[in-house]
Structures are given as C-alpha cells and as structure tokens.
Structure 1
C-alpha cells in the first residue's frame, strides 16, 4: 500500500536508470466501467464470457445498466494505455513513458489524465469537441471478463496530432514504440508513421494482435503494419484466428508462432519475435526459427480475482525490461510477474511501489 493509503504509487527514488521518454504508445484511451454480472446479463447483450468487441447499438444501454444496477469500479483503461501505465509503475521513472490518444474535456477525461500522470506517464491527448471520453464496459463473470468498448472520442484520434512538433519531438526521443492492435480501427496511418520512423532509425516497434475481430475484419491495415514489427504479442485465441485468416494451414501454436516470426519484415536489422501467451500454460516465444517455452508463475485458482488486463500487463512488464535493454528471458520473467500481479486484483490497479526485482 502507499503511505497515504490512496492506492496510488508512491513517489520514491527511481528503481532503474532509463532515459526520459524512452517508451511511447498511441492507442484508445478509455475509462473502464467494471462490474461483476451474471450469465443472464451476458445473454441479454449477446456477449461471450471471455472476449473483446466494439459496442454496437444493441450494447449501448448496457453501460447505464451497469451503473444503475451493479456495483461498479471506474478504472483508467484502454489496452495501450494500460500497458504504458504498468511499464511506468514497474520502472518507477517519471516520464519514462509517453502516451497519445483522444479524449474529451469532460469528467471522465479529467480522471484519465490525472491517473496517468499520477503513474508518471507523459500524456498529450487530442481533445475532441463532439464525442465524450470513451468507455469500456467490463462484465466480469467468475474469472472471465467480456469487454465492450464504446470508443467515442477515442475513435477520433488523428495523425495530425502525432506529427505536431511538440509531439513528434517525443517520437524522436523514444526508442521503443508500442500499439495495441485496437488502434488499427482508428488511425492506422498514425501507427504507420511510428512504424516507418522506427524502421528509418532502427528503433523498436511492437504491436499486439489484441482481438480476433481485428484479424478477421481489419486485415488490410493489420498487414500493412505487421512488416514493421520487431515484437508481435497475442494470446492463443488471437493467434489461432490470425493463422486461420492468413491461411497458415496449421492449428499448432508453435508452428503459428514460427510463421508469424517469419513474415516479411521491413527492418532486416532486427529479427521479428512472436510471443504467444496461453493463460496458465507456458508462453511461447518464436525467434530465428526456434520456439522457446517459458512457464508462467503458478497460481491457485482461489487467488485469481480478475483476468481483465492480464495481457496488457504482460506486455507492460515486458516493455519495462526492454526499456532497460534486458535480455529476452528477463523481459518474459517480468511480463509473467506483471500478469500474475494483475490477475490477483480487480482490473488494472496497482498499489504502492512495484516490488519486482
């Protein structure tokens, strides 16, 4: 716990020596509205127990129903923003990481900005004048969660904001870039701008497969960005759907990881590393024609509180060590630590100073 009991990170001496602004992400900033629901709620809104989708008109009433009929928690969210926040918490270096996205000048937007800055992240949001700050309904059933994102203002990010001189200066300062695949539905041209900058300057660019629907319905932007990726993250379901959509001809996850790592690549100075998580099973890492398996940290079923955001936290732990130029093995070790920590909490919440060593 923090000294004041607030649940926010304490301000202490930096744990490691990494440059300011070394990590930068762009994504969809959302405020998570999280609540435990029953199967009837999922059925009413035609939701799967463990999935991520964009809100359709039929889902819009669920946000207010959660607020009116359930005990809800409000947590800063959005996949990339989660990852950046976790990485910043682990390394505990002010302004080590930067984040760009689009919100509104409203109460939810103020909460997001304040929370991110409390975790030491440099944020520069584009403000949309028509749409409210985006939200994500997190319907928790047991240890599963169904995410329904109403992007709203998050859907209004523009490349023009990224290339503004003050923001592009942060791009030039950064050495590692990360984008969850969800931003492919918003501003793929902004993602490409980061990717091309990374290639031209031999920096690290990474992306997450993020959700099955992206591989199914956003193939073109996805496959324009993937050749720039030095690291590709995904879970077993996302990888399997990606393989099917790309006609890999196999359902074997090790073979899928190898095929992802062997995809055409723009920057031949760096190999592509494909990383596939499998929940409680070992994480698969494909690089240079070989697959390595890394066992996760064992955890009792009773200790699992909420799997929401475990993948985001995994990448946050990985990038925290990558920012320190640590080995692949150490990056995975920290990734497992972060995921293990988060699944024992409600949502992407962290308290005090990170204990990872």
Structure 2
C-alpha cells in the first residue's frame, strides 16, 4: 500500500463560504431570483446574505469549485489528513473564521491570504423544494495577491511539496483556442495535441458532460466512459457533481494509479454527492 505524504495535492481558487437554507417564494421574489439558477451577486443582492442568516436556518460549508474538489479528494484519500492543500483569499471577518473552521473539519490544509478590503466570498444556496438558486458574491476571492502570499517562502514550500496541482479551467477554452467545433470528442483530441512545454510527459485530457459519457483523450485515442447510473428519485442536487468528479479523480492520481481508475473514482464521488444537498458526503467513502 502506497502511503501518501501530507500536501501531496495542491489546489488554488476562489474560496467561498456556502450558506444553504430552505427559503420561501417571497424571499426569491424579493431578490428577483429564479428557482433554479446560478448568478453572480449584484448591488440589489447586498442584503441577501445577512437576511438569509437572520431569517432562515442555515448550514455552512466550505465551497467554491476548486475548494470543493480538494475537499472531496481529501475525503476519498482519508489518511493522511492534510494530503490536500488549498490556497485562496478571504476577508478578516466572521464568515472567514467559519470558512477556516469548515476547511479544518474537512482535514484540508487551507492557507488563506487574509485581507480587510473585501469581505469573505459567499455563495447563498436558496433551496425551494427540489430547486436551488445560487447567488455567488466573489468579493475577497478576487483579491488574491501572489506576492503577498504565494511568494512567501513558507507557502511556496507547500507548493513544492505537491505532486499534483489543480486549478479549475474555464469551459470557454475551446472557443478561446479557436477550435471551431462543438464536437466534444474533437475538442478533447485538439486539446490533447496542443503544444506542451514538458514533452517527456504526455498530456491527457478528461472532459465530463453531466450525465453523458466522460471523455478521455490520450496521444493515441479518444475513449468514452459511461457515468454511474443513479435512480432519478435518489438525486437530490447535481450542483456539486463536476467538482466531486474532479476530487475523486485527483484522489487516485496522487497514487499514480491508471487514468481509468481515476475516472472510476471520479464517477463514484459524483454519484455520492448528487444524492446529498450541496457538496457534502458521508463520513467515509465506500470505494474499492
């Protein structure tokens, strides 16, 4: 059995404190929210976060896409604790303190850059029956300063300790690259063939597409993997599925396991997360 060292996995992104609550239609209407939506907070949503906390019974979770993935990876790895490191920016405030506590509970080694100009980023998940309306206020998450955090020797040491690095990529990648195709297999193939600095290691490309097949592109071929089929009645919330897939995938990649195993773990993690509200999971994984 391979034993991992601490800080073997490194993730960096926008840390958000997820604030989840079951709300009523009046609350959605007041802030002009659709029952099933994902938006960035505007001026009119300023009071929403405080009101949510005051008016409803809320649950807090460490969120933000990369932080979710790192959290799921740590859960799949189990031991050692702090196998996963996370960097991001928060505010010096109550929500920042809660976020630190939540990351610690998830056994993630989170090192936040703390500043006072902007409050900690939050994501309100307003739940009505089966729907979730997400309102994200990035705030502090946008204030990360490389020279004040990443470049510090003690932090850079953690970067150097890692074997696997993860930063979420934007879905507009193909458009930006001018690939001129909507065919996901073709995009995967073209992405795999892009120029690469380190020619010794082949690039592999993995695309997930919700309940459709997962695509893997290597130098020689493009393969598809069907996702695990869940009974529709068991699905509670599909929002965290993509982040969970990444977490499951990374949890095997740090052990140098074959890509097919990484994908299998990704599908497993996603299948667990969609049966729960938010990006949450049971105490231990049941993955063999």
Give the TM-score normalised by the residue count of structure 1. 0.73
- What is the correspondence of 1:112-261 to structure 2 with a 5 Å cutoff? 112-140=99-127, 145-160=132-147, 161-180=149-168, 208-209=169-170, 238=171, 241-261=172-192
CA contact 2:35–2:128 (8 Å) conserved in 1: no
Contact kept? 2:31, 2:45, Cα under 8 Å: no
- 1:325 maps to 2:256: yes
1:302 is aligned to 2:288? no
Following superposition, the deviation at residue 35 of structure 1 comes to 3.5
Cα 1:155/1:117, change in 2 over 3 Å: same
Task: Say if 2:269 is the partner of 1:283.
Answer: no
Shift of 1:121: 1.6
**1:79 maps onto 2:79 in alignment:** no
Query: In structure 2, what is the Cα distance between the partners aligned to 1:158 and 1:257?
Result: 32
Contact residue 12 and residue 167 of structure 2 kept, 8 A: yes
Relative to structure 1, the CA distance from residue 50 to residue 76 in structure 2 (aligned partners, 3 Å threshold; closer, same or farther) is same
The 1:104–1:333 alpha-carbon spacing in structure 2 relative to 1, beyond 3 Å, is same
How has the CA–CA distance of structure 1 residues 108 and 68 changed in structure 2, closer, same or farther, with 3 Å as cutoff? closer
C-alpha distance in structure 1 between counterparts of 2:25 and 2:215, whole Å = 32
Q: What's the Cα RMSD here?
A: 2.4
1:262-317, Cα deviation, whole Å (9 max, x unpaired) = 22222222222222212222111112152111111110111001112111111000
8 A Cα contact 2:33 2:133, kept in partner: no
Change (3 A) 1:48 1:162: farther
Query: What whole-Å deviation, never above 9, does each CA across 1:135-163 have from its counterpart, x for those lacking one?
Result: 01224466564433212222211102011
Report the TM-score when normalising by structure 2.
0.89
Residue 341 (structure 1) aligned with residue 272 (structure 2):
yes
More helix by share: 1
Contact 1:243 1:256 in 2 (8 A): yes
Q: Are positions 1:58 and 2:53 aligned together?
A: no
Match of 2:87 in 1: 100
Q: 1:314 to 1:142 in 2, by over 3 A?
A: farther
Gaps in structure 2 of 5+ consecutive residues:
none
SS in structure 2 of the partner of residue 254 of structure 1: helix
Does the Cα contact within 8 Å between 1:49 and 1:145 map onto a contact in 2?
Answer: yes
How many positions carry a matched residue from both structures? 285
Q: What is the alpha-carbon distance in structure 2 between the residues aligned to residue 289 and residue 144 of structure 1?
A: 42
Shift of residue 66 of structure 1? 3.6
Q: Using the TM superposition, give the Cα deviation of residue 62 of structure 1 relative to its aligned residue in structure 2, in angstroms.
A: 3.5
* Segment drifting more, 271-280 vs 335-344: 271-280
Q: 1:165 to 1:146 in 2, by over 3 A?
A: same
